[in-house]
């Protein structure tokens, strides 16, 4: 494929590039090797990193060879943040995070075949490098004026905190990565987020200065949300790829809850559905928004890529069961726990008797007060474990102990959409 750039433009995945016409010519002439870097500044990647990983996968599917760099060296320093100096993590911690992130990347690229991906670590070429060699062989090619013009560096220089020499030098380390990969593997292109543009071009400039060759950089846009809130954040915090940090159910629900105004652009970026399939889902959004067909398709696609088909099936089953379209009793304990954590679950101590339905509805948060709980009972709009409570149910009535799911949970619902849970301990 030589139309990969047209495909990426259609998907809204190219914010900037160094010389697109020259890159098109190289792609047309034959396969190129390219790379993208991921720093282990946390124990997991997050969904913002998926933009880069899936862009890498698209280039690979178009017949090019990816290098996935996990920065065991750059992760010890960290890219300068606008808000202030990073806390440096110790070497053992960073090394552990490198391995965790490598395992997250591996399922998203193909490591076999003609265009097999390769995993690389920049600690391999920096660990034995002396400070003198670093300054003489690499640092001499960087101009301070250009380095301080970088937005995050400039902002920090003009702040009360300032910026350390360590973080200031980060862009030299990243530039050196491109030079080293050019020498070792013939790497011709680096991809990254638009907020990394200064770092991307530092590598391009370094290769040009040292090797007298023109290489390429392509930046993807930062993903935004129509409502103005930050993409990849929920009330619970960052949406991580690690299932112990964001459960597969919570991960699935993040995509299911995508705004109608965002979902089509998300399908272009985060799914491999073709233009006709996305156009059909876009029509669904316009004609039947309540069905949320596009959101469900997006959620299933992305969850399956990151967590696999088994966990995706569990998340789908839990999502359906929570709203009365499946059997709660069939959900595994961990899946039910994750679903109720996401929906909102209260923990209540229990003695000889279980709490009343009124108490449970109120504590689960599906009504605002106990008087509202009594009205929900009277109106026939209250459910426990998807069982509708008859309108004549007494306010002091209680569930039976054998109704507890896995011996400890109850799912409460008011109407079709308001769900909560209680864990009895």
The whole-angstrom separation of Cα 294 and Cα 288 is 10
Helix (H, G, I), strand (E, B) or coil at 300: helix
Residue 171, annotated ligand binder?
no
Distances (CA, A) of 91 to 24, 72, 132, 159: 40, 9, 22, 29
Please give the angle made by the CA atoms of 29, 31 and 33, to the nearest 5 degrees.
Answer: 130
Residue 170, annotated ligand binder?
yes
Residue 277, annotated ligand binder?
no
| H helical segments located in 212-288 | 248-256, 260-270, 275-287
The whole-angstrom separation of Cα 288 and Cα 282 is 10
User: Are 215 and 182 spatial neighbours (Cβ–Cβ below 8 Å)?
Assistant: yes
β-bridge pairing 233-234 and 216-220: unpaired
Helix (H, G, I), strand (E, B) or coil at 164: coil
Distances (CA, A) of 67 to 56, 333, 374, 376: 9, 39, 61, 58
Half-sphere exposure of 209 (CA within 13 A, CB side): 17
Q: CB 185: neighbour CB atoms within 10 A? A: 15
Percent helix, strand, coil in the chain (nearest 5)?
A: 50, 15, 35
Strand locations in 149-254 (E): 187-193, 216-220, 233-234, 237-238
User: Are 220 and 194 spatial neighbours (Cβ–Cβ below 8 Å)?
Assistant: yes
The whole-angstrom separation of Cα 383 and Cα 328 is 13
State residue 348 phi and psi, 5-degree precision.
Answer: -125, 135
Question: Residue 232 corresponds to which tokens in the numbers above?
Answer: 């990849």
The whole-angstrom separation of Cα 180 and Cα 129 is 13
The whole-angstrom separation of Cα 244 and Cα 250 is 11
Q: Which of 246, 243, 155 is nearest to 195 (CA)?
A: 155
State residue 73 phi and psi, 5-degree precision.
Answer: -90, -55
User: Are 413 and 323 spatial neighbours (Cβ–Cβ below 8 Å)?
Assistant: yes
Residue 249, annotated ligand binder?
no
User: What residues are designated binding site?
Assistant: 35, 170, 174, 233
User: What residues are designated binding site for L-tyrosine?
Assistant: 35, 170, 174
User: What residues are designated binding site for ATP?
Assistant: 233
């Amino acid at each position: 494929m030589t139309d990969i750039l047209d495909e990426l433009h259609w998907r809204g995945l190219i914010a900037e590039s160094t010389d697109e016409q020259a890159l098109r010519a190289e792609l047309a002439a034959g396969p190129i090797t390219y790379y993208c870097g991921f720093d282990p500044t946390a124990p997991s990647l997050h969904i913002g990193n998926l933009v880069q990983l899936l862009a890498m996968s698209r280039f690979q599917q178009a017949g090019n060879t990816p290098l996935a760099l996990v920065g065991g060296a750059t992760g010890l320093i960290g890219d300068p943040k606008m808000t202030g100096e990073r806390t440096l993590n110790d070497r053992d911690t960073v090394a552990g995070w490198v391995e965790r992130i490598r395992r997250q990347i591996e399922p998203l690229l193909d490591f076999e075949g003609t265009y097999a991906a390769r995993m690389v670590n920049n600690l391999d070429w920096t660990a034995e490098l002396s400070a003198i060699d670093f300054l003489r062989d690499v640092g001499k090619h960087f101009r301070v004026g250009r380095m301080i013009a970088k937005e995050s560096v400039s902002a920090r220089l003009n702040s009360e905190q300032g910026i350390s020499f360590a973080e200031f030098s980060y862009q030299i380390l990243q530039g050196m990565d491109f030079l080293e990969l050019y020498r070792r593997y013939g790497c011709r292109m680096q991809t990254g987020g638009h907020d990394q543009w200064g770092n991307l071009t530092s590598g391009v400039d370094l290769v040009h200065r040292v090797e007298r060759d023109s290489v390429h950089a392509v930046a993807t846009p930062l993903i935004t949300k129509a409502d103005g809130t930050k993409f990849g954040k929920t009330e619970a915090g960052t949406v991580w790829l690690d299932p112990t940090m964001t459960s597969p159910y919570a991960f699935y629900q993040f995509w299911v809850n995508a705004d109608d105004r965002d979902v089509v652009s998300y399908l272009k970026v985060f799914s491999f559905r073709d233009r006709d399939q996305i156009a059909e889902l876009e029509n669904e959004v316009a004609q039947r928004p309540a069905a949320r067909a596009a959101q469900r398709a997006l959620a299933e696609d992305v969850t399956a890529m990151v967590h696999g088909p088994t966990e995706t099936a569990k998340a789908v089953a839990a999502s359906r069961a929570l709203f009365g379209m499946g059997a709660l009793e069939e959900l595994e304990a961990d899946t039910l726990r994750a679903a109720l954590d996401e929906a909102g679950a209260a923990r209540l101590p229990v003695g000889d008797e279980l709490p009343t339905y009124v108490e449970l509805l109120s504590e689960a948060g599906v009504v605002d007060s106990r008087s509202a709980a009594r009205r929900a009972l009277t109106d026939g709009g209250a459910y426990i474990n998807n069982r509708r409570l008859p309108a004549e149910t007494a306010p002091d009535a209680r569930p039976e102990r054998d109704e507890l799911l896995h011996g400890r949970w109850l799912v409460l619902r008011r109407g079709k959409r308001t769900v909560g849970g209680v864990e009895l301990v």
